[in-house]
Structure 1
């Protein structure tokens, strides 16, 4: 049984369709900082409706949060969550092998080890509930992905069980979440950029039927990706899929 930070509660499932779906089903009645943890998912999802491999031994968890913020600001939780996961990996010994790929992937040695999916419930201008889903590869990873993937065991980070990983993750998340609430996005942005994957290098951003190519310049003060498409000309992108020539 994982240890929970003060103010958190947990619902545990041997098997469920999706922890994000369970959080969504309970978003109205459940308390802030309710954790939904499944040993196995039968219909795990990633961004843009993609399926997420949910083999036993990995960590599948969703946090139900009620931050009472505008949607654009609440979306910054993807960076808060990614930093928390990177803190866990560093605790496990990954060190500077950890990198963060915009907007919400966590990498070790350039290979994806964790995906993060944010979903919001809102009836007006402010978010009623934000669901932060995280899938962390501990014991296995998919082999048939269009990008490199890895897991704790494959990356030489030891045999970390889901209970331990969840304890570490919730501790790290609460510290990052509290700092974001108290200090705002500026410190999150600074820490994220320190760990940013391929900062300053050429990237490709897929925007539906458009591809933007340019230099990964920075994040702006809201968390948008800033791409320099030609000298002195930048695009601020709030949603898209990032690829790196010759890499992921």
Structure 2
């Protein structure tokens, strides 16, 4: 199969740059933006050799997995651009649910697949990491802010030995190709991009995100610099910060950090 945009994405004017293999779809998208590309354009591959996650961690997508990034140039502040990641995560979770219909028909009750969003950038299923998301922004010399939202999805294989166990769609019994998932993702993004509306619709996005949030009400530990904040994951605020309620009842906003839930929180806090 070859990559193609979904019908909604095509109608909305998105373009597509597909690669047999590429170092990083995010890097390629931002390089194109610096060269004058204004988007909206998707960059996609089934083999990424030097991708990056948060904090410059390597994110390699072996052949058959999906690495996809969307480039949008807009007139927003970096703080507003950061909230786009919540809409992007919702779009991908919605696409995953759509391609998992057949698998869920075979499953009963609590075994059904439900894709949840872990602050700030992961898609989880059955307590395991399925996807990692990265949003980057850079002011362009020709005007506007180039925002690139990228996500890597474990379709045929998942890394081993990660702090949070990882899984793949294949291991979950979802038999879908990278090309099929991407078409669903590109259409879902049109929907959630419209709701987000350059940040104006973040209140609605925030509510929808909290309905899919992983770990709300659970014990959490966040490594922030050289320290650790521990407590209960309370909510996210109107700017997208994670709110932790400490044992003393204080509500502490977290803008960035390494997040560990449940039993993993004990490891993260150590």
TM-score range, shorter chain: over 0.9
RMSD, matched Cα: 1.8
**1:247 Cα deviation from its structure 2 partner:** 4.0
1:213 to partner: Cα distance: 0.1
- Within the candidate set 7, 25, 32, 1:26 is matched to 32
Q: Deviations over 1:22-54 (max 9, x none)?
A: 111111311321111123112111110101121
Q: Which residue of 2 aligns with 1:213?
A: 230
In the alignment, is residue 144 of structure 1 matched against residue 161 of structure 2? Answer: yes
DSSP-derived class of the 2:238 partner: coil
Number of the residue aligned with 1:90: 97
Match of 2:45 among 29, 38, 46: 38
8 Å contact kept, 1:108–1:155: no
Inter-partner Cα distance in structure 1 for 2:5 and 2:26? 21
- Answer yes or no: is 1:163 the counterpart of 2:179: yes
Structure 2 gap segments, 5+ residues each: 105-111, 266-270
Please report the TM-score for the alignment, with normalisation by the length of structure 1.
0.93
Q: Distance in 2 between matches of 1:242 and 1:7?
A: 37
Equivalent residue runs for 1:3-152 within 5 Å: 3-4=5-6, 5=9, 6-28=12-34, 29-91=36-98, 92-93=100-101, 97-122=114-139, 128-152=145-169
Following superposition, the deviation at residue 3 of structure 1 comes to 2.5
Give the whole-Å Cα distance in 2 for the aligned partners of 1:121 and 1:173.
21
TM-superposition CA deviations, 1:195-217 (whole Å, max 9, x none): 11110111000112010001111
How many pairs align? 246
Give the structure 2 partner of residue 154 of structure 1: 171
Give the alignment's TM-score, normalised by structure 2.
0.86
Per-residue deviation at 1:231?
4.1
Contact 1:59 1:136 in 2 (8 A): yes
Decide which moves more: 85-94 or 131-140.
85-94
**Which is further off, 38-47 or 72-81?**
38-47
Please give the per-residue CA displacement for 1:157-185, whole angstroms capped at 9, x wherever unaligned.
2x211111110001111100101107511
